[in-house]
Amino acid sequence: MQNAVTELMRISPLADELAKLFAKAGYSLYLVGGSVRDMMLDRLSSDLDFTTDARPDQVLKIVSAWGDAVWDVGIAFGTVGVTKQGMTLEITTFRADSYDRVGRNPEVTFGDSIEGDLLRRDFTVNAMAIDLANQAFVDPYDGLQALRDQVLDTPATPQESFADDPLRMLRAARFSAQLGFTAAPRVIDAMTSMAEEIDRITAERVQAELSKLLLADDPRPGVELLVDTRLADRVLPEVPGMRLAIDEHHQHKDVYQHSLTVLAQAIDLEKSHEPTSEPDLILRLAALLHDVGKPATREFQSGGGVSFHHHEVVGAKMARKRLRALKFSKEIIEDVSQLVFLHLRFHGYGKGEWTDSAVRRYITDAGDLLPRLHKLVRADCTTRNRKKAAALQATYDDLERRIEALQAQEDLDRVRPDLNGEEIMRILGLKPGPDVGKAWKHLKELRLDRGPLEHDDAVAELKKWAAENGIGG
């Protein structure tokens, strides 16, 4: 343990410097929470959390002249923020809060001991501290053993902890995904029996935790914990709802398990294609939700088969509705629902029978989402039949080659009609209005069907359409 403390001092001499300032003023200072946990896991970041027996106004006095910048936005909750040499430090006075167990916000009360402060934290792996003045490890609730065992448990009883703050149940799922830890049996029991308490939490906070969970290297354990404890029934019911449907390929226990596999495969493709980029929340949401329309569209056929006609249409509507309820941004809602809507279209490609017009429409409908759609469609192949899987991937390879060839031939990312609005008005003798828009849309559809037209051919097609629809002179 002393080696870990020594390593902290080597990595962050600022912590030692800050501790000396607090000691000089007569106060203790502890590195605490996730900072200690991450240090033990060799993943210490540039953001450090501290706790102290100094009250917030005293903290401000100590750090004001020392920090490069100081902010007190969280001072009502006892937190003062400081930046120093590119590092972000948050210093919070010992807390001994009480909760009304109706909402989530506590009645802020400052405490007098590090043990009392650690007791109110969410999990024992986050309830460890380092006394910086004495370079001593503080672990009253066996967080280090939990870290070694890779177990998520609570310092107080889970019932007390989750009653105080139900969001901690979602954090358990998130940490199981981020850290690969397993929730203790008593934590799982409490999450299951108290699942409805999550209704006290705002949609925005629920969404933030779900997003962090899905952005983990392996979200599957977190999703499974939410489903198994019935928390998903409250915050993302479409996911456990997929357990009711049998996958049409009969290769998976159910559509739920298939969707978890698609999520994992989408993440693998994401990492292999852009290994240095940030995790793609839009792709991951689409992978998890792409088949949510299946339970509502399931039909048992006379020969014993199962069909899910138009599940992509129903699924897109369901995804949009759920993401709105969770207060996701408009961009994320539209992008995810469009990917769900488009994910099945490739299966009409057959052995390459699509015309160039159909390929153009695939490109145009996907727009900027095309790279994500490529990954989603490939990830959606989960058959255990290697020959069939190889054939599907080869067919999609062929589609991508055709897309690349067409994009090289035409600028399909910004496809426009062969005549612009001014030309349409001049040729048809129109003034600005709805008819110009209709003509523009017709020419765009023509462009998608036939590719670029010569100018005279485009004019002829425009005049023909106008005559058929009684537009213009």
Distances (CA, A) of 155 to 64, 126, 426: 34, 9, 76
d(CA 230, CA 192): 6
Torsion angles phi and psi, residue 189, rounded to 5? -60, -45
d(CA 165, CA 103): 8
What is the DSSP pairing of strand 79-84 with strand 69-71? antiparallel
Structure tokens at 171: 């954090």
DSSP SS3 for 472: coil
What pLDDT tens digit does each residue of the chain (473 aa) get? Answer: 555 555 565 556 888 899 999 999 999 999 998 889 988 887 777 788 999 999 999 999 999 999 999 998 888 889 999 999 888 999 999 987 666 566 556 667 888 899 999 999 999 999 999 999 888 899 999 999 999 999 999 999 999 999 999 999 999 999 999 999 999 999 999 999 999 999 999 999 999 999 999 999 999 999 999 999 999 999 999 999 998 655 455 444 589 999 999 999 999 999 988 777 899 999 999 999 999 999 887 777 666 666 677 899 999 999 999 999 999 999 999 999 999 999 999 988 888 889 999 999 999 999 999 999 999 999 998 888 889 889 889 999 999 999 999 888 776 656 788 899 899 999 999 888 889 999 998 998 888 888 888 999 999 999 999 999 988 76
d(CA 14, CA 266): 41
Amino acid letter for position 211:
S
Cross-strand partners of 108 = none
DSSP 8-class letter at 132: T
Query: Could you tell me if 131 and 117 are in contact, meaning their C-beta atoms sit under 8 angstroms apart?
Result: no
Given this model, what pLDDT does residue 252 score?
43
pTM of the model: 0.83
For residue 262, which of 388, 375, 395 has the smallest C-alpha distance? 375
d(CA 27, CA 219): 41
For the beta carbon of residue 402, count every other beta carbon within 10 angstroms.
18
Q: How far apart are the first and last CA of the chain?
A: 88
CA atoms 438, 440, 443, 449: torsion sign: negative
Torsion angles phi and psi, residue 215, rounded to 5? -85, 0
SS (H, E, C) 275-312: CCCCCCHHHHHHHHHCCCCHHHHCEECCCCCEECCCHH
Structure tokens at 460: 């002829």
d(CA 432, CA 435): 8
CA atoms 364, 366, 370, 374: torsion sign: negative
Query: Could you tell me if 83 and 89 are in contact, meaning their C-beta atoms sit under 8 angstroms apart?
Result: yes
Query: Could you tell me if 22 and 91 are in contact, meaning their C-beta atoms sit under 8 angstroms apart?
Result: no
Torsion angles phi and psi, residue 130, rounded to 5? -120, 120
Q: Which residue shows structure tokens 């080659």?
A: 401
Query: Could you tell me if 284 and 267 are in contact, meaning their C-beta atoms sit under 8 angstroms apart?
Result: yes
Phi-psi region of 352 (alpha: psi -120 to 50; beta: other; left: phi over 0): left
DSSP SS3 for 152: strand
DSSP-assigned states of every residue in 51-89: EESS-HHHHHHHHHTTSSEEE-TTGGGTEEEEEETTEEE
The angle formed by the CA atoms of residues 370, 216 and 7, to the nearest 5 degrees, is 135
Structure tokens at 35: 């900072």
Amino acid letter for position 45:
S
